[in-house]
């Protein structure tokens, strides 16, 4: 890394691990999902023990997503200040430009709470004429961030602040941005959006794909439910099972029974199973892809919980959500950059809430939550 960063340490990515409970009044799982607005992929892994219910779960997902959609359109920023789009923004419009990298191009988003964030190159910022702040991740001031609250009381046609922004969008930053846009209510149901002909808007649906993984070594996840006194051991166990889910995600042969690759070529070893003897099993990967606002994720999450609670008491699942690598923000509106990786994703390990607790467990509603955060992300 010293070849590329001779004067400073390389940026570090982080994996945050937490053990929470659905029975907590804080409802942190809801906050974690709702505060991450820009997502493009959801993947669920389910072991074979819940296979009798997998068709019903997939049908539920299909039904939930069939009425939901998003748009791809070519939008000038001045359009967002029209009375029609200002109403969309009040209703929770989410939008993200999708052409160009966050470290090298102008990128714009609307976060669903009325905030427009412009992450701009130095040249674009100096031409724009609105006040911003230097990016946290480019110390040479080659990038700036402008944040506009489009729900503020001053955002009324005729008022100075509104007219200033409108003039800038019509005269200085006149770029037409390719964007993905969606508007959903708090329950995740779509709200209508209409575009002018010049936007060349296309309505898009979500892609749902199911893959059966056979003869795989499914790990025992019950040790993850209790931290105990050895926090380091628990973190190691979580990391091992999380890595296994990653191997399952790419359908690696390393997690199949009987795999005998030379250790010189691959040193990976599978986590422990419930039995001492290795037993081949099967599992399902369900993947949803598209522009997925956070309110649309909550019904999927709750359907997965319901599936586990209605299945065998030993049921478990993993649900992972990927954020856009070139989004200007990640969690809670914090600035996000790309640099080497740009990851901003989160993952849940869930169990049936009917599972009989062990002696150290007094709470049936526990779950493990993980956040993958790149080095250039203020959430780190």
Nearest residue to 348 (alpha-carbon basis) of 44, 64, 37:
44
Q: For position 338, what pLDDT does the model report?
A: 78
Q: For position 380, what pLDDT does the model report?
A: 61
Q: For position 359, what pLDDT does the model report?
A: 57
Q: For position 336, what pLDDT does the model report?
A: 79
The pTM (predicted TM-score) of the whole model is 0.91
> Tokens in use for 184?
């959903």
First to last CA, the chain: 21
Number of Cα atoms under 13 Å in the Cβ half of residue 81: 21
Task: Please tell me the distance from the alpha carbon of residue 217 to that of residue 194, in angstroms, as a whole number.
Answer: 49
Task: Please tell me the distance from the alpha carbon of residue 196 to that of residue 146, in angstroms, as a whole number.
Answer: 26
Rounded to 5 degrees, what are φ and ψ at 306?
-65, -40
Task: Please tell me the distance from the alpha carbon of residue 256 to that of residue 216, in angstroms, as a whole number.
Answer: 4
The overall longest dimension of the chain from CA atoms, in Å, is 74
In order along its 380 residues, the chain shows pLDDT tens digits of 445 555 666 667 888 999 999 988 888 899 999 999 999 999 999 998 776 677 778 888 888 888 889 999 999 999 999 999 999 999 999 999 998 888 889 999 999 999 999 999 999 999 999 999 998 887 777 899 999 999 999 899 999 999 999 999 999 999 999 999 999 988 888 899 999 999 999 999 999 999 999 999 999 998 898 887 678 899 999 999 999 999 999 999 889 888 888 777 888 888 888 776 778 888 999 999 999 999 999 999 999 999 898 888 888 999 999 999 899 988 888 887 777 777 889 999 999 888 766 655 567 789 999 998 887 777 76
Task: Please tell me the distance from the alpha carbon of residue 123 to that of residue 245, in angstroms, as a whole number.
Answer: 43
Q: Tell me the residue length of the chain.
A: 380
CB atoms within 10 A of CB 21: 17
Q: For position 51, what pLDDT does the model report?
A: 63
> Tokens in use for 62?
């299909």
> Tokens in use for 54?
């997998």
Q: In what order do the strands lie in the sheet with 207-216?
A: 14-21, 366-373, 344-351, 316-323, 39-47, 281-292, 207-216
Q: For position 104, what pLDDT does the model report?
A: 87
Q: For position 262, what pLDDT does the model report?
A: 79
Q: For position 24, what pLDDT does the model report?
A: 85
Number of Cα atoms under 13 Å in the Cβ half of residue 355: 22
Nearest residue to 57 (alpha-carbon basis) of 363, 374, 350:
350
Nearest residue to 379 (alpha-carbon basis) of 322, 336, 345:
336
């Amino acid at each position: 890394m010293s070849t590329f960063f001779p004067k400073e340490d390389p940026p570090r990515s982080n994996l945050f691990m937490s053990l929470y409970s659905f029975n907590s009044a804080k409802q942190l799982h809801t906050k974690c999902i709702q505060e991450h607005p820009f997502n493009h992929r959801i993947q669920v892994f389910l072991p074979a023990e819940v296979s009798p219910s997998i068709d019903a779960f997939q049908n539920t997902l299909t039904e939930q997503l069939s009425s939901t959609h998003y748009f791809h359109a070519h939008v000038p920023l001045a359009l967002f200040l029209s009375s029609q789009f200002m109403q969309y923004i009040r209703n929770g419009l989410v939008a993200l430009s999708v052409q160009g990298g966050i470290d090298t191009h102008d990128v714009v988003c609307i976060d669903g709470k009325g905030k427009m964030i412009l992450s701009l190159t130095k040249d674009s910022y100096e031409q724009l004429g609105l006040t911003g702040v230097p990016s946290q991740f480019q110390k040479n001031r080659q990038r700036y961030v402008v944040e506009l609250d489009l729900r503020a009381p001053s955002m009324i046609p005729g008022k100075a602040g509104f007219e200033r922004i409108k003039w800038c969008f019509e005269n200085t930053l006149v770029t037409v941005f390719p964007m993905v846009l969606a508007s959903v209510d708090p329950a995740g149901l779509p709200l209508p959006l209409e575009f002018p002909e010049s936007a060349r808007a296309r309505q898009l649906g979500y892609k749902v794909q199911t893959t059966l993984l056979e003869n795989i070594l499914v790990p025992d996840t019950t040790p993850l439910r209790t931290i105990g006194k050895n926090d380091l051991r628990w973190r190691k166990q979580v990391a091992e099972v999380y890595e296994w889910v990653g191997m399952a995600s790419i359908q690696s042969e390393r997690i199949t029974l009987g795999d005998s690759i030379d250790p010189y070529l691959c040193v990976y070893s599978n986590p422990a199973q419930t039995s001492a003897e290795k037993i081949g099993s099967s599992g399902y990967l369900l993947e949803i892809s598209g522009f997925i606002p956070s309110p649309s994720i909550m019904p999927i999450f709750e359907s997965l919980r319901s599936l586990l609670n209605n299945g065998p008491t030993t049921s478990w699942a993993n649900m992972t959500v990927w954020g856009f690598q070139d989004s200007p923000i990640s969690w809670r509106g914090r600035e996000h950059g790309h640099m080497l990786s740009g990851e901003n994703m989160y993952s849940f390990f869930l169990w049936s809430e009917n599972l009989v607790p062990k002696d150290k467990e007094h709470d049936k509603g526990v779950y493990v939550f993980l956040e993958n955060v790149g080095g250039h992300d203020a959430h780190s």
